[in-house]
Structure 1
Amino acid sequence: MKNKTILVVDDTIANLDILVELLDQYDVIDATNGKDALEIVEDEHIDLILLDIMMPEMDGYEICQRLKSEENTKDIPIIFITAKTDENSIERAYDIGGADYVTKPFQPKELLARVKKELQIQELMNNLKLLASTDPLTKLYNRRYFANVSQHILELSKRQKNNLSIIIIDIDKFKNINDTYGHQAGDSVIVALANKLLHSHRKSDLACRYGGEEFVILLPNTQRNEALQVAEKLRKEIADISVDFQNKQHICFTVSIGVSEVVVANEPNIEKALKRADDALYEAKNSGRNKVCSI
């Protein structure tokens, strides 16, 4: 498992040297106290933590509790490495979220095996989370993920007092594409549109496949006029897409787009704004398609 990053925390330099040398197949960062360890986790992507318990000022238990209380660090597996062997210490380590417990002096091969096991479990969990949050055809986020994360984005926007906007995109006459070329061709069109969205939106934006041939983009810190410009640019670029299909067929398609703004001071969630964007989308559909409308 190359390129995994392990944080080793121990106040004894000799112990750190042993662990760094033993874990030479990984990227290892070391820290001699809890304060430095917490700062490192904030700044670096850490896959696993090896954590001593008995340290001055902040012991391993407190470090673990702090990490498990934060959303962005709670899922990092922690293996305690300590000279404490009593049952109460071991029980407490597991109770506060430790993944494993290794007593000193440890056997090198046993420690490496436990490290490998935890990294494998973590990778499996990450893959399961990815499958649960993404659409398998397009690799965009799915509707469930959008519903969960959009509320967090709204709360952040409220604190920053910045409005955000919503764009809903629907492929025009998609049923005709399926009926004329087949569902495989329809999937190819959906993937082509998704790829455009993947490479067009800002990193701060949240794009997802909302269902069928419908896509949604949430744009933080964006007012309606700005969102309309983004939507119109997308509409034009999508109209220029040509999907190569079997027998050298070239499928071109257009989209209709609805736009709305979420006024964060007035709206507890984005549901009403989503409905406005959806109404605007239907207005675009009913007034000729291949256009952007806003309500």
Structure 2
Amino acid sequence: MDNLKNDIIFNTINNGILILDEDLKIRAWNRWLEIHTCMNLEAVQDKNLCELFPSIDEKKLKRKIKSVLVTNNSSFYSVDPHRYLIKIRLSNITNAIYEYMQQDVTIAPYKKEERLVAVYIYDKTSLCETNAQLEVLNGELKELSYRDPMTHAYNRRYFYEEATRLLSLANREEKSCCIVIMDIDKFKDINDTYGHSIGDEVIIALAKNLETHTRKSDVIARFGGEEFVILLYNSDIKNAKLVAEKIREDIQDIAISTSEGAIHFTASFGVSRFDKTFDENDIEHTISRADKCLYVAKTHGRNKVITEEYLGASKYDKLFNTYSMDDQTLHII
């Protein structure tokens, strides 16, 4: 390989080139590889590439070289899972994402009669960095598109997408899901008396309160104005009632500062349980029933939780005609 040792193009090209025989012995090693590996030709010549770089899958590389020699055609070499062939450490000062150079590798026939191939190594770290950054930015943009800008709670769009996924999961795992819908009591009076900026503070305070009483598996969404909806995953109606009651009680203790002193507010709640058969596998039906429960709460003094109990489809026509009352909770019976 003396002809390559002093070849200007071979040693000035901006990618790695090495010549291997079918036993993976190194026959030529260009200047790019010397610089990036800190190993000159004398140190690597006639050495087995995989002995110098143990992370390489030797059997896989031999199969690929054999295929190239048989077909006499160049072939791309997949470097997964490491994303590199030759392990070249990167400076953590100039590269904050990858510890090792990300590479594309092509194997081409060089001298078929001598069973030699040329292995081309291309540094694609910058491209990978750009793609990684774009993925992060796209993820952030997607997250922003799912969030209410004022409260940072999820919006309707995200709620319905996530509800579809969670309900499908719940059906497979035979889990129960519930809907809690809530609305701030006399919110118009707050806006009219103290101004919309105070009204916004009330909504934000409510959203923060909801986060403290829900799990990561639950979904909180602002449906508009002062109305919020929670999907409680793996929760029966009894547990959903407890969650709603705790939220209702804590809301009463929230104090919002105004020029006229601190003010307090309350909220009303409706709770329903998703039933695959009765709801025709549509969460809108569950939300509609919870909304009717909320309406009952609003028309029976506000600051209440109203729950429904599953009694069968034939009894839903009478659902909002009969009530029993226990403290601040109305149960439809």
Cα separation, 2, equivalents of 1:242 and 1:213: 17
Q: Which residue of 2 aligns with 1:105?
A: 121
Counterparts of residues 147-162 of structure 1 (less than 5 Å)? 147-162=160-175
Contact (CA 8 Å) 1:164, 1:223: kept in 2 or not? yes
Contact (CA 8 Å) 1:172, 1:253: kept in 2 or not? yes
User: Which consecutive residues of structure 2, in runs of 5 or more, have no partner in the other structure?
Assistant: 1-77, 109-118, 309-333
Q: Which residue of 1 aligns with 2:69?
A: none
Deviations 1:174-225 (A, max 9, x none): 0001001110110000000001112221111111111110000001111111
Deviation of 1:272 (Å): 1.1
Deviation of 1:229 (Å): 1.0
The counterpart of 1:186, out of the listed 199, 204, 217, is: 199
Q: Which residue of 2 aligns with 1:83?
A: 106
Contact (CA 8 Å) 2:183, 2:227: kept in 1 or not? yes
More helix by share: 1
Q: Which residue of 2 aligns with 1:26?
A: 96
| Letter aligned with residue 274 of structure 2 | V
Contact (CA 8 Å) 1:163, 1:223: kept in 2 or not? yes
Give RMSD over aligned pairs.
2.7
Q: Which residue of 2 aligns with 1:240?
A: 253
1:126 and 2:139 are equivalent in the alignment: yes
Cα separation, 1, equivalents of 2:79 and 2:244: 49
Distance 1:12 1:124, change over 3 A: closer
Distance 1:227 1:11, change over 3 A: closer
Deviation of 1:11 (Å): 7.0
Cα separation, 1, equivalents of 2:81 and 2:243: 53
Contact (CA 8 Å) 2:254, 2:264: kept in 1 or not? yes
- 3-state SS of 1:17 partner: coil
Contact (CA 8 Å) 1:256, 1:290: kept in 2 or not? yes
Cα separation, 1, equivalents of 2:273 and 2:229: 13
Cα separation, 2, equivalents of 1:225 and 1:13: 51
Deviation of 1:104 (Å): 4.0
Q: Which residue of 1 aligns with 2:212?
A: 199
Deviation of 1:23 (Å): 6.6
Deviations 1:85-121 (A, max 9, x none): 9xxxxxxxxxxxxxxxxx94224xxx34313321232
- 3-state SS of 2:159 partner: helix
Counterparts of residues 245-284 of structure 1 (less than 5 Å)? 245=258, 247=259, 249-267=261-279, 268-284=281-297
Cα separation, 2, equivalents of 1:238 and 1:209: 16
| Letter aligned with residue 238 of structure 1 | I
Contact (CA 8 Å) 1:161, 1:265: kept in 2 or not? no
Q: Which residue of 1 aligns with 2:236?
A: 223
Cα separation, 2, equivalents of 1:134 and 1:161: 29
Contact (CA 8 Å) 1:154, 1:269: kept in 2 or not? no
Q: TM-score scaled by structure 1?
A: 0.67
Between 1:123-132 and 1:227-236, the stretch displaced more is 123-132
Cα separation, 1, equivalents of 2:172 and 2:203: 36
Q: Which residue of 1 aligns with 2:12?
A: none
Deviation of 1:83 (Å): 1.2
Counterparts of residues 21-100 of structure 1 (less than 5 Å)? 21=90, 25-26=95-96, 28=98, 81-83=104-106
Contact (CA 8 Å) 1:23, 1:112: kept in 2 or not? no
Distance 1:189 1:12, change over 3 A: closer
Contact (CA 8 Å) 2:79, 2:105: kept in 1 or not? no
| Letter aligned with residue 260 of structure 1 | S
Q: Which residue of 1 aligns with 2:65?
A: none
Q: Percent identity?
A: 40
Q: Which residue of 2 aligns with 1:98?
A: none
Q: Which residue of 2 aligns with 1:39?
A: none
Q: Which has the larger radius of gyration?
A: 2
Q: Which residue of 2 aligns with 1:38?
A: none
Contact (CA 8 Å) 2:79, 2:85: kept in 1 or not? no
| Letter aligned with residue 264 of structure 2 | C
- 3-state SS of 1:105 partner: strand
Cα separation, 1, equivalents of 2:83 and 2:301: 72
The total of aligned residue pairs comes to 219
Contact (CA 8 Å) 1:162, 1:264: kept in 2 or not? no
Higher relative contact order (CA 8 A, sep 6+): 1
| Letter aligned with residue 253 of structure 1 | F
- 3-state SS of 2:270 partner: strand
Cα separation, 1, equivalents of 2:274 and 2:83: 53
User: Which consecutive residues of structure 1, in runs of 5 or more, have no partner in the other structure?
Assistant: 1-7, 31-48, 53-80, 86-102
